[in-house]
Amino acid sequence: MTGVDRLGRPLRSLRVSVTDHCNLRCRYCMPEEHYVWLPRSSILSFEEIVRLVTIFEHCGVAKVRLTGGEPLLRHDLATLVRMLAAGPSLDDLALTTNGLLLADQAAELRRAGLHRVTVSLDTLRPERMQAFARSNRHADVIRGIRVARDAGLGPVKLNSVVIRGFNDDELGDLLDFARTEGCEVRFIEYMDVGGANNWRMEDVVTRREMLERLASRQGEIEPVAGDDPSAPAERFRLADGTRFGIIASTSEPFCRTCDRGRLTADGHFLLCLYAETGLDLLTRLRAGASDDALKQEIQAAWQERRDRGAEERSAVAERGALYSISALRADPRKEMHTRGG
């Protein structure tokens, strides 16, 4: 076990980015046409990912979420899932996806041992997806959600990033859709990660505003008690029992309970979504470091962790995009799609 970091937080959960590529161009995440991609030769192989995840498990990690970029673009992802699921100690093996390729892969991923999926769904209107993410494949996402649910990858969670003037008039509709489909929606406050999105505070719809708007349409809302305090979403219940979550990373950050590390597709261990740099495990691993040596480096990094990036960002008075485009081009690991959302 790793013990706790400088703020008393254990290492329990790991987000593993399996690719920095994506088949959407969401305006809030990856709006540019072309990016500086991680060199192919530096992308972790499945064997390398499994080896590192196993070491992380020995450091206390019990929850792994595969992400990206778009993880379903990684060729033969089910094989990686099968390899990870064969390990002894994961309580939770989940995947975050935009859903475009999910209908085709859900059953195989389930058979391989994936426990559940979270699907990004920001709008129920195909024309908005076209304008905002440059894709006309809205129907594929909806189909993916249904196929995943029916394949047993539930409860399927839906992630909706709420942005003023784009989809903030759809909160109630997204909640109704989730209820009808037997899913649970989590409304995410727009975050100032990366930089190409030209983030502005005016575009953020805060947790408080979301709750006010939802209460005026849906009636009484009460918090759900007894959830895991380290989970990013705060959960609520409507009078009819419908549950939903809000991830208030921007207006009410929850760094104090953050037990998540991140592994980039090229093997850098990040202690925080906002971390400037990470521990280069790839170079160490390919230079022949033993499992024990890697474990000690991971543990030492975690024990020194003081990161509370979202809280520090919320203390910035004149808050704008985190990085300039030139800074992102010089170091693609600063991009959200590279570090894994």
Give residues in contact with ligand SAM (CB under 6 A).
Answer: 22, 28-29, 67-68, 70, 96-98, 120, 159, 161, 188, 190-191, 193, 197, 336-337, 341
Least Å distance, CB 161 to ligand SAM, is 4
User: Contact, 184 vs 174, CB < 8 A?
Assistant: no
Asked if residue 266 lies in contact with residue 38, where contact means CB atoms within 8 angstroms, the answer is yes
- For the bound state, the minimum distance from the C-beta of residue 201 to ligand SAM, rounded and expressed in Å, comes to 13
What count of other Cβ atoms lies within 10 Å of the Cβ of residue 229?
10
How many whole angstroms separate alpha carbon 154 and alpha carbon 116? 5
Shortest separation between residue 1's beta carbon and ligand SAM, angstroms: 28
CB nearer ligand SAM, residue 74 or residue 305 = 74
Tokens in use for 166?
């784009």
Min dist. Cβ of residue 212 to ligand SAM (A): 20
Of the two residues 298 and 310, which places its CB atom closer to ligand SAM in the complex?
310
Contact 23, 100 (CB under 8 A): yes
Residue nearest to ligand SAM (CB): 341
Question: Which is closer to ligand SAM, CB of 13 or CB of 97?
Answer: 97
Q: Position of tokens 């993880």?
A: 71
Q: Which is nearer to ligand SAM, 86 or 131 (CB)?
A: 131
Identify whether the C-beta of residue 199 lies closer than 8 Å to the C-beta of residue 190. yes
Sign of CA dihedral 185, 190, 194, 196: positive
Task: Using the minimum distance from each CB to ligand SAM, give the nearer residue, 60 or 253.
Answer: 253
Cβ 288 to ligand SAM, closest distance in Å?
A: 32
Rounded to the nearest 5°, which phi and psi values hold at 41?
A: -65, -15
